[in-house]
Homo-oligomer: A and B are copies of this chain.
Amino acid sequence: MTPSPPSRPCCAPLLTDALSNEEVSRLAVLFRVLGEPTRLHLLRLIAAQPGGEVCACDLVEPLGLAQPTVSHHLKVMYDAGLVERDRRGTWIYYRIVPGAIALLRDALT
């Protein structure tokens, strides 16, 4: 998997530079992931942890949703490259990918 364009890491500023259709699509995917209140809550819960990571088991109850639903949203965020996971025994810990948020923020410059 080497979809990275040679020119830039991901995306240049959205409103100023010339972006390829793939860059626009990639940005849209990331923004759409954030375009769900449930996933925004998830992101905030993960970011809120002191160590920057949180066990998936601690995400179900605060959201008030079924476990498969939470798992689904975590997968969406994982597939989008927004979070990374780390299995430690029975539990799986999620972290926000460093720079993923900054990438979006830079696109809005």
Q: Which residues in A have some Cβ–Cβ distance to B below 8 Å? A: 5, 7-11, 13-16, 19, 21, 24-25, 27-29, 31-37, 40-41, 43-45, 47-50, 62, 96, 101-102, 104-105, 108-109
Shortest Cβ distance from residue A15 to the other chain B in the assembled complex, whole angstroms: 4
Beyond the given A21-B37, A24-B41, please list 7 additional residue pairs across the A-B interface where CB-CB is below 8 A.
Answer: A5-B62, A10-B44, A14-B47, A19-B44, A28-B40, A34-B35, A101-B108
A31: B residues at CB distance < 8 A: 31-32, 34-35, 40
A34: B residues at CB distance < 8 A: 27-28, 31, 35
Interface centre among A16, A96, A101 (most CB of B within 10 A): A101
